[in-house]
Amino acid sequence: MWSDLAPVGRSASSGGYFRQPFASAERELAAWFVEQAEARGLRLESDATGNVVAWWDAGAGAGVLTGSHLDSVLDGGAYDGPLGVVSALAAVDALRARGFAPQRPLGVSVFVEEEGSRFGLACLGSRLASGALTWSAAAGLRDRDGVALADVVEGGGPALLEGVGAFVELHVEQGRDLVDRDAPVGVASEIWPHGRYRFDFAGEANHAGTTRMADRRDPMLTYAMTALAANKQARLADQRATFGRLEVTPNGTNAVPSHVTAWLDARCSSEAALASLVDAVTRQAAERAGRDGTTLTVTPESVSGAVAFGLDLGLDVPVIPTAAGHDAGILAAAGIPTAMLFVRNPSGVSHSPAETAEPADCLAGVEALADVLERLAS
Ligand code: HGY
Ligand code: MN
Ligand code: MN
Ligand code: MN
């Protein structure tokens, strides 16, 4: 069962980056999911953004949903997202093999653009599906080529989450807690608050050879000192601050840049800690800009509050917090009883081809998910 469901083809070799929505590689994955759902006689429903739910129609009452995402970060791993989708399909197989007859509808979901790799907003699909984000607020989001979301999809479409009474997302662990506890499966207690902030540094373009250091107004210097300050600040209280994306203008080897745009991804154990981390970094960046003769504009792009998972799965497994964002966090914040199951990742590494999960642990995850779904859909 597991071998024919192994996460399909998503690896660094395929660039690991699916320009969501509807890039060719993503289309392949979405087509694979539709094929798998149809092969199981599940009823497919999709909204105009591209979110999909494959329903095992049964019984009546509030539906039980499980699933994850199929998109990836640039050069991501093969499990972040697909493991949850594949395991959901495998759990349907396991329940059928047990002869289980659900008393309420059971759905397998795939939300688009969970990583926000293309339009810059994480969990775009689940935010739209849950109503956390309106179509009018999302339509104008643009990718790196300036293509607007509204140019790619219409938005709207059936309210896929109407009548959903519970959501469970299985996900590869993005850390080492389960390795350290020698446990194949765990559940999430909470998702840390996290935010994305755009830092625009502006200075004066000039010649790399003829411009004395003292005469420069170099935004790259201000950015570099800001990244250093963020790193130091986050270490003070075991928070997280990452500048992983940078755009330099004009981006020439022999030109002092005129502009540097950098995106800060900040995650903290509390909303107060997040606010004070970002304030401290912004304050230090502004001070540095004053010294360098550059200017700074900081624009919050998305900020998500703390999420505590209230849905008790009744499993005797480790309960661990996560600083990774998930569609489950969006649905929980929208008031849907939600939980997350984690599967051990021996490398502990994620958002990298080094992300791993052992087949035996994946199967343990499927069995745990099937147990949970059997309880919720009875
Ligand atoms: O960024 C995250 O935490 C998630 O992988 N989207
Ligand atoms: Mn991810
Ligand atoms: Mn993920
Ligand atoms: Mn020249």
Ligand (nearest to CA of 302): 1
Alpha helices in the chain (DSSP H): 24-39, 82-97, 124-130, 135-138, 149-152, 177-180, 219-236, 271-292, 327-333, 359-376
C-alpha to C-alpha distance for 168 and 340, rounded to whole angstroms: 6
Find out whether 196 is annotated in a ligand binding site.
yes
For 223, list phi and psi in degrees, rounded to 5. Answer: -60, -50
CA distances from 122 to 25, 119, 304, 323 (A): 19, 8, 10, 14
Tell me yes or no: is domain 195-303 CATH 3.90.870.20. no
**Strand partners of residue 266:** 195, 241
Q: State in Å: Cα 115 to ligand 1 middle.
A: 6
Find out whether 181 is annotated in a ligand binding site.
no
**Strand partners of residue 111:** 69
* Residue in this structure with the two tokens 């759902």, named with its chain if needed: 37
pTM equals 0.91
Q: State in Å: Cα 173 to ligand 3 middle.
A: 9
Atom of ligand 1 nearest to the CA of 123: 6
Write the class of the CATH domain 2-192+306-376: alpha beta
pLDDT of residue 25: 59
Q: State in Å: Cα 210 to ligand 4 middle.
A: 9
Q: Which of 337, 378, 313, 338 is nearest to 61 (CA)?
A: 378
Instruction: Report DSSP letters for 317-351, one per residue.
Output: S-EEEE-S--HHHHHHHTT--EEEEEE--TT---S
Alpha helices in 98-218 (DSSP H): 124-130, 135-138, 149-152, 177-180
> Does residue 125 have its Cβ closer than 6 Å to ligand 1?
no
Amino acid letter, residue 81: G
Which residues, including other chains, have CB under 8 Å from residue 316's CB and lie 6 or more apart? none
Q: Where are the domains of the chain?
A: 2-192+306-376, 195-303
Q: State in Å: Cα 268 to ligand 1 middle.
A: 14
Find out whether 69 is annotated in a ligand binding site.
yes
Atom of ligand 1 nearest to the CA of 265: 1
The residue whose CA is least distant from atom 4 of ligand 1 is 325
Q: Give the mean pLDDT per block of 10 residues along the chain (378 residues).
A: 39 32 62 91 92 94 96 89 95 97 97 91 95 94 90 85 97 97 98 97 98 98 98 96 97 98 98 98 98 98 94 95 97 97 96 92 96 97
